[in-house]
A and B are shown apart, each in its own frame.
Chain A
């Protein structure tokens, strides 16, 4: 038996080398430096940082807020994708282009614009009976804003591939519209939807620029973890900043890995067709 299998595209070792080299330069080395720095910390320093009420509160907001924002984006992003795919209407191309704006807009601009809108005397803020800007709610609004494109852009192409014959088949078999959506359409687009939601989540966890304008940054209440890192750096508390960064990294990585595993399991179940 031949040990070496023939590949269609040559240069496996060269491309793998390039991939790893590139990833190292851009992603792995900076992260390794971070972990190296953290490795110098004593157990007591870790414990102090991780039990600090202010740190814990910032984590709750960053991860909890990001989760809420990602879920809201999941629901409304799906709706937007649905409308864009299923219904031809005038101006559809224009709306389609708007979707990507949060990608392009400097986050500070987004933050300032959202603050102006949701401030107690802003256009939207004055209509609401409760405060949005300068509260955790404001942070979540900013997180939703920057996460919009992810779900729409991942679900759109998959939704385009969902054959209308599937819906017709379900109708012939006696399914109502709701049943057809829940049992036929949603499962077919679930992997893409999940990817979109996890991307939106990851983006929101790391978001800094827009949130610091709108959230008010009250320590323990509306302060996000990335801001706390910056604050600690400004106070020359490199150890504290590193610990928070490491922890954010670990939690994010674990969550994204879990989502990836879920996707893989789902793909295998579908026989590699999704």
Chain B
């Protein structure tokens, strides 16, 4: 169990972390999701002991972590740019954490070789044990970095934008593979990402951060379906942001009237996802100003009465069937409108 309570950290005048509390259950794969500058990497580094908090505490299995040096924490850390030791072969990199042990903890040469072989097998790099990092591709380097981190049997595996430097296809494969590995080995992992798709696909639990604060914690489905703040809604995918007026628990958003029981009367903000807008060719709620074909889908730029704009995304088939083109008047339906009180 990892317990983070009321953590704060400042860099000069900048609040990197502001009263952050978080509990990580063993066996979970947790994503720290946020834009750059949201404090997610700082939090990860504090968990590893690479940075120190100004206030608050971290408890690793009940032990106050401030008394533990990085090297005594038994955390595996995977860096975005791998941080492999380039003068060591793949096998030597993986063995490093075992070779630097001292006294009775130090495994014998045979044990080290054995464990390195098993780990390289696990990350599917058995044939490359003798290569040097400069002779590997980005995806292979990242797998070496992972094997190296796993060699010390970490209590907690921390990954800092682990797929950030890789191209799209490799990233996809590695993601799936990491999820598998996490489950097979029974790890507890925390990874940092700014890619919402990655967080939603990979994590058991997503922690959305912004400006050093936690915006929301929940399962991927939970935070997608029930975003707690406008920030979370907007960060988890494209969103149309529209002005709204609430009166007696009903919000007026463009031509839509949606129930908003928890929100006080007055101005409010409403969000609609582009793919949750339905186009009715016989209505006249908006005018299509522009359309862009994006592979299997079409993005429509819509002009709403009153000067507001919205985007809708529909599939190519419907687009062709409805015979849509710029300049045409259409009716708009919405499968879901989320209303927040005005900030």
- Asked if A172 contacts B71 (CB within 8 A), the reply is yes
Q: Which residues on A sit within 8 Å (CB–CB) of B100?
A: 170, 173-176, 179, 183
- Asked if A270 contacts B87 (CB within 8 A), the reply is yes
Q: Which residue of B lies closest to A173 (CB)?
A: B97
- Among the listed B75, B85, B88, B132, which residue makes an inter-chain contact with A172, where contact means beta carbons less than 8 Å apart? B75
Count of interface residues, chain B, beta-carbon cutoff 8 Å: 31
Q: Residue-by-residue, is A153-194 near B (CB-CB < 8 Å gives 1, otherwise 0)?
A: 000000000010110111111111001000110011000000
- Asked if A170 contacts B135 (CB within 8 A), the reply is no
Q: Which residue of A lies closest to B95 (CB)?
A: A173
Q: Which residues on B sit within 8 Å (CB–CB) of A173?
A: 71, 96-97, 100, 148-149, 151-152
- Asked if A165 contacts B135 (CB within 8 A), the reply is no
- Asked if B75 contacts A270 (CB within 8 A), the reply is no
- Asked if B50 contacts A270 (CB within 8 A), the reply is no
Q: How far is the CA of A54 from the CA of B74 in the complex (A)?
A: 62
- Asked if B135 contacts A271 (CB within 8 A), the reply is yes
- Among the listed B50, B71, B88, B135, which residue makes an inter-chain contact with A174, where contact means beta carbons less than 8 Å apart? B71
Q: Does A93 contact B (CB under 8 A)?
A: no
Q: Which residues on B sit within 8 Å (CB–CB) of A169?
A: 77, 79, 83, 85, 148
User: Nearest-CB distance from B89 to chain A (Å)?
Assistant: 9
Q: Which residues on B sit within 8 Å (CB–CB) of A3?
A: none
User: Nearest-CB distance from A202 to chain B (Å)?
Assistant: 25
| Given A175-B100, A187-B87: A271 and B79 interface contact (C-beta under 8 Å) | no
Q: How far is the CA of A188 from the CA of B149 in the complex (A)?
A: 20
Q: How far is the CA of A73 from the CA of B194 in the complex (A)?
A: 47
Q: Does B318 contact A (CB under 8 A)?
A: no
- Asked if B149 contacts A165 (CB within 8 A), the reply is no
Q: Does B220 contact A (CB under 8 A)?
A: no
Q: Which of A174-227 contact B (CB under 8 A)?
A: 174-176, 179, 183-184, 187-188
Q: Does A273 contact B (CB under 8 A)?
A: yes
Q: How far is the CA of A274 from the CA of B88 in the complex (A)?
A: 12
**Interface-central residue, B48, B71, B97, B101, by most chain A CB under 10 Å:** B71
- Asked if A170 contacts B96 (CB within 8 A), the reply is yes
Q: How far is the CA of A269 from the CA of B135 in the complex (A)?
A: 11
Q: Does A88 contact B (CB under 8 A)?
A: no
Q: Which residue of B lies closest to A273 (CB)?
A: B134
| Given A168-B77, A271-B132, A272-B134: A174 and B97 interface contact (C-beta under 8 Å) | yes
Q: Which residues on B sit within 8 Å (CB–CB) of A165?
A: 79, 81, 83
- Chain A-chain B contacts (Cβ-Cβ < 8 Å), number: 83
For the residues of A in contact with B, the DSSP-based class is helix
Q: Which residue of A lies closest to B102 (CB)?
A: A176
- Asked if B86 contacts A184 (CB within 8 A), the reply is no
| Given A172-B76, A174-B71, A175-B71: A188 and B86 interface contact (C-beta under 8 Å) | yes
Q: Does B297 contact A (CB under 8 A)?
A: no
- Asked if B83 contacts A176 (CB within 8 A), the reply is no
Q: Which residue of B lies closest to A165 (CB)?
A: B83
Q: Which residues on A sit within 8 Å (CB–CB) of B97?
A: 173-175
Q: Does B70 contact A (CB under 8 A)?
A: yes
Q: How far is the CA of A269 from the CA of B48 in the complex (A)?
A: 32
User: Nearest-CB distance from B71 to chain A (Å)?
Assistant: 5
Q: Which residue of A lies closest to B72 (CB)?
A: A174
Q: Which residue of A lies closest to B151 (CB)?
A: A173
Q: Which residues on B sit within 8 Å (CB–CB) of A174?
A: 71-72, 74, 97, 100-101, 152
- Among the listed B74, B83, B86, B152, which residue makes an inter-chain contact with A168, where contact means beta carbons less than 8 Å apart? B83
Q: How far is the CA of A269 from the CA of B85 in the complex (A)?
A: 13
Q: Which residues on B sit within 8 Å (CB–CB) of A163?
A: 81, 83
**Interface-central residue, A173, A187, A270, by most chain B CB under 10 Å:** A173
- Asked if B132 contacts A184 (CB within 8 A), the reply is no
- Among the listed B48, B96, B132, B134, which residue makes an inter-chain contact with A183, where contact means beta carbons less than 8 Å apart? B96
User: Nearest-CB distance from B97 to chain A (Å)?
Assistant: 4
Q: Which residues on B sit within 8 Å (CB–CB) of A168?
A: 48, 50, 70, 77, 79, 83
Q: How far is the CA of A172 from the CA of B83 in the complex (A)?
A: 12
Q: Which residues on A sit within 8 Å (CB–CB) of B135?
A: 271
Q: Which residues on B sit within 8 Å (CB–CB) of A179?
A: 100
Residues of B within 8 A of A (CB): 48-50, 69-77, 79, 81, 83, 85-88, 96-97, 100-101, 132-135, 148-149, 151-152
Task: Identify 12 residue pairs between A and B in the complex whose beta-carbon atoms are under 8 Å apart, listed by A's number.
Answer: A172-B70, A172-B71, A172-B149, A174-B71, A175-B97, A176-B100, A183-B85, A183-B100, A269-B87, A269-B132, A270-B132, A273-B86
In the complex, besides A183-B100, A187-B85, 14 extra interface pairs with C-beta distance below 8 angstroms are: A163-B83, A168-B79, A169-B85, A171-B49, A172-B77, A173-B96, A173-B148, A174-B72, A175-B71, A179-B100, A183-B85, A183-B96, A187-B87, A270-B86
* Shortest beta-carbon contacts, A-B, top 4: A173-B97, A271-B134, A165-B83, A273-B134
